[in-house]
Structure formats: C-alpha cells, structure tokens
Chain A
Amino acid sequence: MNISLIIIFMFLILALYLGINARKGKDMNMQQFAVGGRGFGTLFVFLLVAGEVYTTFTFLGGSGWAYSKGAAVYYVPTYICLAYVLSYWLVPKIWKYAKEHSVISQPDYFASKYNSRSMGIIVAILGSMALVPYIVIQIKGLGIIVSEASYGAISPVVASFIGAIAVTTYVIISGIHGSAWTAVIKDIMILVVVVFLGIYIPIHYFGGIQPMFESVQSVKPEMLTLSNQGLSISWFISTVLLNAVGFYLLPHSFSVVLSANGEKTLRKNAITLPLYTLLLLFVFFIGFTAVVQIPGLQGAEGDLSLLRLAIETFDPWVIGIVGAAGLLTALVPASVMLMSASVGLTKSFYNAIVPKATEKQQLIASKLFLIGISSVALIFTITGGEALAILNIMSYSLISQLAPALFFSFPKNNLINKYGAITGIVAGVFIVLYATIFNVKIATFFPNVPHVINDISTGAIALLINTVVTLVVSIFTKNMDINKKQMSDIEASNY
C-alpha cells in the first residue's frame, strides 16, 4: 500500500467515525433518520444542497467532459445556477406543504397532493430509478479514485466494491446526520483541492489561465465553443432547462429541502449557491489543461483526466489528498441519495404492503432497501461503460418526468388529476428508457428534421409528451370523476 492509498483510507475511517459519533445522543426514529427532525439551519442546508455541486460527478465528470467534449460541459454550472434561481420560488412551496402535512419523503408528498397511494408508489420507484445512475456515478468515481491513486495496484472493479461497501456501511450507521458533518469536512477539502489544482496546473504548464486557453485554441479550437450539431446550442438549452427543473425533484435534493427549518432558510440559500457553483470553473481549467498535456484518453476514459494529470504533476502524497477529497465528494452525496431512495421506498411501498408496521420495522425495511439499491448500483457500475456526464443526464431525464405533476399541484385548483399525472409520468419514463436503450433520436423517425430540433435532449422531448398526455388524460377522466360523483349523489339522494 502506497502513501496515497494510506491517506485515502485514513479519511474513510475518519468519515465513518464522524458518522457514528453524529448519531450519539439522538433518538433515531424515522423522522430523525430521514430529515434530521426538520431542524437544519441555513449553513447545514447550504452544505447539503451544495453537496450536489461537488459530487464526484463535477470533480471527475466535469473535468472529464471538458477534456473530451469541451464547451458542452458548461451545461453543468448553467443548469445548477438556474436550478437555484428557480428554487427561490419553488422550494419554499414544497417545504410549506410538507410541514403542514408532516410529509418526510418525496413519494409521501405526491401521494398526499394527489390523495393516491399508487401515485406515491410510482414516485418512489421512479425516484430510485433516477438515483441509480447517480449512485453509479459516485461508486464509479470512487473506483476511479482508488485505482488511480493505487497507481494500478487495485483494479477499478475491486475499487468499486470497496466504494460501494464503504458508502452503504456509512449510511446505515449514521442516516442524514452523518452526512451533514462529513459534508463540512468534504466542502473545505474539495474547495482547497479544486482551487489549488485549478490555478496551479495551468500556471505550471502554460504560465496562466489565458495562455492555457490559447494553446487549447491552437490545438483544438472547436473545444471552446458549442458545435453546430450534436452537442449544439439547442442541445445545451434543452438539457439545461431539463436539469434545472429536475434538480430539486431528485429525491435527495427533495429530502434536503424538507430538512430545512424554515422557508427563509431556503430562500437565503438560493442567493449564495450560484456563487458557490463558480468553483466549477477551476475544475474546467484542469480538464482543458489536460486536453493539451495528456491527449489520447478515449471516450469514458476522459473521466480519468484530472487524476492522470495530477499524477503526472505531483508527488504521491498530494495524490492522496486529492483522492481523499474525491472520496468524500462521493461518500456524502451517495449517502444522501441512498437514504432518500430507501426512505421513499419504505414509506410508500413497504407501508402499502404492511400498513401496521412499527417504527422499528420501518427502519429495518429502509436499511434493507438501502442495501438492495447499492447492490444494483454496483452491478451497473461494473457492467456499464458510459462517461459520468451521460449518466448524469440520464438521471435527470428520468426524474424530470415528475415536473408536470409537481407544477400543476401548486395552484389551489389543480388542473390535472391522478390519472393524468400517472399516465403522463409513465409515458415520459417509457420514452426516456426506450430512447436510451435503443439509442433513438428524432431523426430516426423523421430523417429530414433539422439539427436544431434533432439535438433537443431526449428527456426534454419526453417531458413535452408527458405534459400533453397528462393534460389530455386529465381532461378526459375529469368527466369520469364527475360522473362517479353524480352517481353517488344520485344514489345518496335515493335513500
């Protein structure tokens, strides 16, 4: 075992220790486990939401996509920034309703809004589905970090195993409390590491940020703007909008919203979070430096670029620190995600089957779901070969299908009903899965369609169709509801 691995494992142990400690003195009931008793102030909510900005995805995937696709990677800070702008208006509404109806998970929320248990179950399943690619990202990222830091001694597959086990143990022990404390260390570390690497590396190789971009421009000028087709402007706009809408619909972000102690806390967070996202710039600087310095990584290998470049530049102990920061950026978000997925499944699925389950049984069930989900994620990690950014978009395409059901539910008179909402969601998810599995674009059906339209992301098209289906089915079944009501009114008046 080399010095880099020793440092990384020391941080793993520290994170586990903090997780165990955070639990002491707190009664672990379901509400504590899931939303920290709804008592988190501005700082904790900030750190947990910001956890989204610095997952392994942004760290490795951000530099990876800058390396392999160039300017298309700007979609990441753009959608995150707009998600925060949107959140100012959006999340206090969710929080308020959740508090008034003691809702502690996303499926609960939808079940309560639409007064339908099936709705809750569908949301729970979709939430876990959408989180799987995201958890795969974290485990894959952990695998990359551990195996690169071992200088090849540990294979990525073994490293992914270690990662999956570490994450699962960590969440089972501590619930969301552990995440909040480890989040503090994680954010400080990643901040220092990213800023340092992002400034030092371009200066070390090129003497500055602008000279670095200029040499990228001389080697591959097409990397610095959006292309005319493929990852074009229309791809960019549709993906950004889709992800911005999906951001707070991801079950783990939703949980974090519920764990806030007030609406103002959430609004205040919206102000500072866009600035925090700026730190992604430094990640891009590293990725663009790698374009010139270590060319030749193909496809998904782009995700290795940050670590490969760091290894070429620094001593092993620095790699240890970088790896440890990476480890925490995987551990914290993965634990929040695993938790919200498992709590969601417990609250809707398990409680539907076993309505009289005790608090203790629910806790056990949610931990079993947790192990189940991380096992599925591990299998996908080992078998799949996609770049991290593709997994990120996949996740958002799925979860954004909840948007019509959410947005229509805000006004007092909901325009749509549960039949419409459920059919819409199912249609949207089906389109996303079909298009992803069979690699279908609009041009597959309409070969003459202009690029502007063909480049629109699949998720956005699915969302559009979803909305139409939702509305049509709602209008259609509205009369059905009224008929039923009239029938029962007539029956009632007969007696």
Chain B
Amino acid sequence: MKYIKILLWVPFIGLLGFLSFANKIEPYVLGMPFLLFWIVFWMVLSSVILTIVYRFDPDNKGSDPE
C-alpha cells in the first residue's frame, strides 16, 4: 500500500475538474442548488478518502505520542 497517497488527488479532481458540469442551479439536491450540493458532496467524500488513506498508509504504523 505504498502508493495509497495517490488517492489524495481524487478530491482535487472531483472539486475542480467538473465545475463546468456542476455549475447549474437545478436539480436541487437536499435543499441546495446543484453547484453547492456538488461541493458539499465532495467535501464529505474527501473526509472518507482521507480515512481510507490513513488506514492503509504504512507511515502510520509507527507509534506516536498520543
């Protein structure tokens, strides 16, 4: 799992790569205009992706003071 950090690129692509597609008001999702929803969706997903990376990252095997 040495290359797990590559996943860190995904949020960048999701948030910035599809703006011309996401830049619209309708459909409303969860009460929000589509563009806002898109950004919120990717913020949540970023957190999920970071959790996965943290779990599999060999750098976190060592013990650290808590």
Residues of A participating in the B interface, judged by any CB pair closer than 8 Å: 41-42, 71, 74, 77-78, 81-82, 84-86, 88-89, 92, 208-210, 213-214, 217, 221, 224-226, 233, 236-237, 240-241, 261-265, 267-268, 270-272, 274-275, 277-278, 281, 284
Contact = CB atoms under 8 A, between A and B. Distances in A.
A275 B65 contact: no
A88 B36 contact: no
Contact of A213 (B19, B31, B53): B31
A-B interface, 7 closest residue pairs, ranked by CB to CB distance from nearest:
A262-B64, A210-B31, A264-B64, A209-B31, A271-B50, A274-B46, A224-B33
Contact of A271 (B5, B28, B31, B47): B47
Nearest to B61: A264
A221 B66 contact: no
B64 A263 contact: yes
Nearest to B19: A233
Contacts of A81: 11, 15, 42-43, 46
Given A89-B5, A226-B19, A271-B54, A217 B47 contact: no
B44 to A, nearest CB: 7
SS class, residues of chain B in contact with chain A: helix
Contacts of A77: 39, 43
B17 to A, nearest CB: 9
Contacts of A85: 8, 11-12, 46, 49-50
Interface in B5-61: 5, 8, 11-12, 15-16, 19-20, 23-25, 28, 31-33, 35-36, 39-40, 42-44, 46-47, 49-51, 53-54, 57, 59-60
A315 to B, nearest CB: 28
Interface residues of B, number: 35
Contacts of B5: 88-89
Contact of A267 (B15, B23, B57): B57
Nearest to A208: B31
Given A224-B25, A267-B60, A272-B47, A86 B33 contact: no
